[in-house]
Structure 1
């Protein structure tokens, strides 16, 4: 019997090179987005928040600093181990696969931000993940999914890019294949060994998300198009930010 290949996100997200490559992300922009989102959603001060696919917990920590009780969950044990050093009585982190039912909750607000969805090889798993998120919400609770605008992304795909970070040269190749937007990441590690990783995000459009939401029993309240919370325009918006209600 052949061994089952590891899912790309279970290996790449746990690699120290993943964190090196993306260490210069604009966290000031992310915090500004969270500020706008909280002002738009105006959760009560007593609201319980879930950061679904929280990584190392930077955004969970910021949400906690705003006074909310926050739980951050992520598939990567290394990321959760890094996040837990910042935990306290109102900020908790757990290793969790969103395809499994959430034993935590219920929550008033679930956030899935910065394209942390659509990674799974089987499309049905996306619906399972949404159903689990919906089940973890209180009645009347809200779920926000922040995803890339796939149609615009495919049209404007940069097919090759070279990045040098902390002395490591990364060759990045992007293409569209079998319903996925794929990024190939090639580099030599600190020992001089060639390394190869992939990032794969299913190219989900509005219509398919709408079908997912219907199957998960979620009602779409609004679709926003950028981190300034402007309206969604399929031709020009960089993001698809779905605000859903249970």
Structure 2
């Protein structure tokens, strides 16, 4: 198969689709802001510290961080999301299209945030390490990185195989399963004009131990692991999240 015939990666099409934003329109903004507030209390960034929101989507977290008085850059692979985020850009808030597998063209940063399971999408595991090395290279010495990921142990144990969700007059049919080390969510629905569409989300089922191997290869030191957005200690059986605090 020639390179031109290779299928696009799932995230490059799904995240640019208006149906992605429709399906997840009800994400809890208050919870997200409370999480960021807790992180800022823990990290104590200095005023006008340089922050990077890595995989920023439409910039909701970047915008909130900027409102707290920091200089923020948001990057994301989705051109559609960055175009939407650009409406909020100002002197201390910038956005650009960027693939985290490529070296960052900006920086250095005092803090890098990778929030709400925006990691582990790539087909080849080596790409995860490349992305982390690029992030580490963009950190100042002594800088910190936050990676917020699902708690794979609990997520796999409690996986809901089938779910239906109504959003914007469209019924989404969701099917979750494990496939070759990935947690897969298949998304099927019919558009208002009768077109049947199918998308997938794939996130690698990364254990805490696998992450620790990545961090070692990227030259990042693990400082602490929290288990939820209130920053309570991580418990493999009970915690909904794995929130890693890393230092260069």
**Fold match by TM threshold 0.5:** yes
Deviation at residue 162 of structure 1 after TM alignment: 0.3
Q: Output the CA distance in 2 between the equivalents of 1:85 and 1:209.
A: 35
Structure 2 match to 1:107: 109
TM-score by length of 2: 0.98
Deviations 1:56-83, CA, capped at 9 Å, x for gaps: 0011000000000000000000000000
How much does 1:46 deviate?
2.5
| Cα distance in 2 between the residues matched to 1:105 and 1:190 | 44
SS of the residue corresponding to residue 64 of structure 2 reads helix
| Alignment equivalent of 1:238, drawn from 234, 240, 245 | 240
Alignment map for 1:34-113 (pairs within 5 Å): 34-113=36-115
- SS of 2:88's equivalent in the other structure is coil
Aligned mates of 1:58, 1:225 — CA distance in 2: 22
2:157 corresponds in structure 1 to: 155
- Cα shift at 1:37: 0.5
Q: Distance in 1 between matches of 2:122 and 2:140?
A: 26
Cα distance in 1, alignment partners of residues 114 and 124 from structure 2: 19
Q: CA deviation at 1:189?
A: 1.3
How far, CA to CA, are the matches of 1:45 and 1:238 in structure 2?
A: 31
Instruction: Pick the aligned partner of 2:26 from 5, 24, 27.
Output: 24
Match of 2:215?
213
Structure 1 unmatched ranges of 5 or more: none
Per-residue CA deviation, residues 165-193 of structure 1 (Å, 9 max, x unaligned), is: 11101000000110000000000112211
Q: Quick one: distance in 2 between partners of 1:169 and 1:241?
A: 32
Partner of 2:230: 228
1:125 aligns with 2:115: no
Aligned to 1:135: 137
Deviation per CA, 1:134-179, whole angstroms, max 9, x where unpaired?
0000000000000000010000001000001111010000001100
- How big is each residue's C-alpha offset from its partner over 1:20-77, in whole Å with a ceiling of 9 and x where there is no partner? 0001100100000000000000111131000000000011000000000000000000
TM-score, normalised with respect to structure 1: 0.99
Query: Considering only aligned residues, what root-mean-square deviation do their CA atoms show, in Å?
Result: 0.6
| Uncovered stretches (5+) of structure 2, i.e. residues with no partner | none
Structure 2: distance between partners of 1:100 and 1:190 = 38
Q: Distance in 2 between matches of 1:147 and 1:10?
A: 20
Instruction: Say whether residues 1:179 and 2:181 are aligned partners.
Output: yes
State the distance in 2 between where 1:197 and 1:151 align: 25
Q: Provide, for residues 107-152 of structure 1, a one-character-per-residue CA deviation record: whole Å limited to 9, x for no partner.
A: 0000000000000000000000000000000000000000000010
